[in-house]
A and B are shown apart, each in its own frame.
Chain A
Amino acid sequence: MHLWLIPLLPLAGAAINGLLGRRFSKSTVTAVGLLFPGAAMLWTWKVAFQFTASQAPYIENHGTWLRAGDFVVNYSLYLDQLSLLMILIVTGVGFLIHVYSVGYMAHEGGYYRYFSYLNLFMFFMLTLVLASNYLLMFVGWEGVGLASYLLIGFFFLRDSASSAGKKAFIVNRIGDFGFLIALFLMIKHFGTLNFDDVFAKAAGADVGLLTAIGLLLLVGAAGKSAQLPLYVWLPDAMEGPTPVSALIHAATMVTAGVYMITRSHVIFDHAPDAAAAVAVIGALTALFAATIGLVQHDIKRVLAYSTVSQLGYMVMACGVAAYSAGMFHLMTHAFFKALLFLAAGSVIHGLGGEQDMRKMGGLRHDMPWTFWTMTMATFAITGVPMFSGFFSKDEILWRTFASGHTVLWFIGWFTAFLTAFYMFRLWFLTFFGEFRGQPAHGAHETPGREHHQHEGHAHESPKVMLVPLVILAVLSVIGGWIGVPPALAGSNHFEHFLDPVLLSSASAEATGVAQPATEDFAPERTLAVSAIGAGVAGFLLAWLMYSRRRDLPAKLREQFQGAYTMLENKYYVDEFYGAAVVKPLIEGSRAVLWKFIDQGLIDGTVNESAAAARDVSNSFRRMQSGNIRSYAGWIAAGAAVVIAYMLYMGVR
């Protein structure tokens, strides 16, 4: 079962397109860019068919990477149900987005560069999820951060884009620092980074140590999965092309943190304080981001904050040991969030680059396919019954409640209401009502992007962009049907699929909600109804404000001016970070590192030694005057010194 093909095929694609793509024709770049991820996807399917539960975990070793005494790290790949799930999602959704990109990026410059970077991302992401030790996972972890930087700053001629890329990478790095310290702790106390070995040793390790490791892993996940306080890069990351936002910042890269926490569940099972921290951070992030998303005008910003919020749900699920619920939501979220972004991209593409929802409206007539697929995704994310998001979000909320975290459940429930509100707000603003934009204007603020001149009407996107939308829409609808809980007359195949991975060691007792002791489904059904109620309430409020009484938003804004400004400016978090962290760093670097150390000490040392040499030689220069009599004088003086010395020695 040659697992190594799965990450390395996209790498080959990245290398070919990266090194030779400049000379290829566009169709060759497309062929290379689609062939390798497609092959990886097909190979993944083959592996999935061949995989049986008895084989797990299947470890494929490709030699030793490093060895330092007893500490050994191998290039080995790890296949169990969890990583199988991840590679299916990554290659599947990834390939669909590659196909979509063919249409979206058709008129952009740097076409070969785009596909090279996208394939490179696939390589790193697959390395991350297939790694069998933390170090190889960290390679993938860093690599996806790099790919994210390259792709966010794809339109690098635009200042905001390259700044956003830097911001993403730097904030990620802060999280990576936490991750690294956790790895160091593991090396020191467990002597290994191999998953199986670490988890075996973790079972008997000191709780304080495990709590420290857990908290540091949480820091890493907070950076990569955009949780509080390190989420600030994700909204800015919308500067990248929309398929990038779909793939990296919705479906895959940002889920790496959730995957990592799930993979490390043994550690969190034995460190309840760390798990509690995870749950609280997740819940607060979900709420916080949802509130910001309520008033954003840029369609992609709303979706970005929505992503942060949904990731908060997943992280919260991991924190309450409902790992399978978290992974379930990861999967359904990949489907509907990627679809939301791609459909938004279709809208933007159709409008020639417009992203402000205040200038949209009534597009359901001009872009029917986009409208219907986006509707499917909206229903999924808001938890309309029978759609995928309903089952996964419900599972999370139920597990949170059942494990006793009532406050967190309430936060999750309220966030569901907010989610429904802002998603339907987006839906109404974009597709209903009158078109509020400027017709047939080709001008927009984004250099490097082509625009289509169309007289007054947005146009539907080409088939190559619509087919992935349709496929993802189908998945958004049916994707939840494999995880229908028993309470709603299903058999939750999803949870049972992941059980062998997640119920290892004592986690079953630790969660306490693995199987309901009795067949009493009333609480679960009540909660499900309450979640539906929250969704309906959100829909009604959005319908009221954006369909029936369009004057309400402006009136509410006037009345709650302060709160509105606060939300619109994202609670001024970026400004706060700028003042509290960035500015002191810059000023400190300028004053201390640059002026004092670099200019003063280092340059100073070099310059001073040169000056000293110059001064010494200056004094010696006077001996070389060219004046014969002064030479004679020096000779005489030297002779006198020698004679004096000889006299002195003679007398001694």
Chain B
Amino acid sequence: MVPIAYYLVLSAILFGCGVAGFLVKRNIITIFMCIELMLNGVNLAFVAFAAHWGRLSGQVFVFFVMVVAAAEAAVGLAIIIAVFRTRETLNVDRVNLLKL
């Protein structure tokens, strides 16, 4: 068996990459991808624990997370498109005025 620590470390690395990219990147699409990365890192942790303790709650929770991730991606991309139509930019630093 692969020790659970490996899965957790991998999950942490994924999460960390997601956070780092979320904070550093300028392109809004890239930021969204980092968000997905964070979510998937968390998914990995849940599944690892579920397998380790032989309980199904972890697996089920992953379903929830995926559903939320999907919905959030849909809504988020819709917003991005709306913003892009008016601002003509994907640079998140340029979207800093409430007023257009």
Q: Mark B66-83, 1 if CB is under 8 A from A, else 0.
A: 000000000000000000
Chain B residues with Cβ below 8 Å from A629 are 23, 26, 92-93
A636 touches B93 (CB 8 A): no
> Which A622-640 residues have a C-beta within 8 angstroms of B?
625-629, 632-633, 636
Looking at the assembled complex, report how far the CB atom of A629 sits from the nearest CB atom of chain B, in whole angstroms. 6
B residues less than 8 Å from A633 (CB atoms) = 23
Q: Which residue of A lies closest to B35 (CB)?
A: A632
How far, in angstroms, from A636 to B31 measured CA to CA in the complex? Answer: 14
User: Are A632 and B96 neighbours in the complex by a CB distance under 8 Å?
Assistant: no
Rounded to whole angstroms, the CA-CA distance of A626 and B31 in the bound complex is: 17
Nearest-neighbour CB distance to chain B for A626, whole angstroms, equals 4
B-side interface mostly: helix
Question: Which A residues are CB-close (under 8 A) to B22?
Answer: 632, 636
The answer to whether the Cβ of B29 comes within 8 Å of any Cβ in the partner chain is no
* Beta-carbon contact of A628 and B96 below 8 Å: yes
B92 contacts A628, CB within 8 Å?
Answer: yes
Residues in chain B near residue A632, CB distance under 8 A? 22-23, 31
Q: Say yes or no: B96 contacts A625, CB within 8 Å.
A: yes
How many Å from the CB of A34 to the closest CB on chain B? 77
Task: Please name all residues of chain B whose beta carbon is closer than 8 Å to the beta carbon of A625 when the two chains form the complex.
Answer: 96
Question: CB-nearest residue of chain B relative to A640?
Answer: B19
Q: Is the CB of A626 within 8 A of B23?
A: no
Q: Which of A585-600 contact B (CB under 8 A)?
A: none
Taken together as a complex, chains A and B put the C-alpha atoms of A625 and B92 apart, in Å, by 13
Residues of A within 8 A of B31 (CB): 632
Across-interface contacts of B95 in A (CB, < 8 A): 628
Contact present for B96 and A627 (CB under 8 Å): yes
- Chain A residues within an 8 Å CB radius of B96: 625-628
Q: What is the bound-complex CA distance between A627 and B98, given in angstroms?
A: 11
CB atoms of B92 and A626 under 8 A apart: no
CA A629 to CA B95, docked complex, whole Å? 10
Which chain B residues lie closer than 8 Å to A626 at the CB level? 96-98
Beta-carbon contacts of B87-100 to A below 8 Å, as 1s and 0s? 00000110111100
Chain A positions within 8 Å of B97 at CB level: 626
Write the nearest CB–CB distance from B16 to chain A, whole angstroms: 11
Q: A627–B93 contact, CB under 8 A? A: yes
Q: Which residues of A contact B93 (CB under 8 A)?
A: 627-629
A626 to B94, CA, bound (A): 9
Residues in chain A near residue B98, CB distance under 8 A: 626
Q: Closest CB of chain A to B44's CB: distance in Å?
A: 17
Closest to A627 in B: B96
Q: Mark A444-462, 1 if CB is under 8 A from B, else 0.
A: 0000000000000000000
Q: How far is the CA of A5 from the CA of B16 in the complex (A)?
A: 97
CB distance from B37 to the nearest CB of A (A): 14
The distance from the CB of A613 to the nearest CB of chain B, in whole angstroms, is 25
Query: What residue in chain A is nearest B20 (Cβ atoms)?
Result: A636
In this complex, the member of A625, A632, A633, A636 whose beta carbon has the largest number of chain B beta carbons within 10 angstroms is A632
A–B Cβ pairs within 8 angstroms, 15 of them: A625-B96, A626-B96, A626-B97, A626-B98, A628-B93, A628-B95, A628-B96, A629-B23, A629-B26, A629-B92, A629-B93, A632-B23, A632-B31, A636-B22, A636-B23
- Can you name 19 extra interface pairs (CB under 8 A) apart from A626-B96, A628-B93? A625-B96, A626-B97, A626-B98, A627-B93, A627-B96, A628-B92, A628-B95, A628-B96, A629-B23, A629-B26, A629-B92, A629-B93, A632-B22, A632-B23, A632-B31, A633-B23, A636-B19, A636-B22, A636-B23
- Listed from nearest, the 8 A-B pairs whose CB atoms lie closest are A626-B96, A628-B92, A633-B23, A627-B96, A632-B23, A636-B19, A632-B22, A629-B92
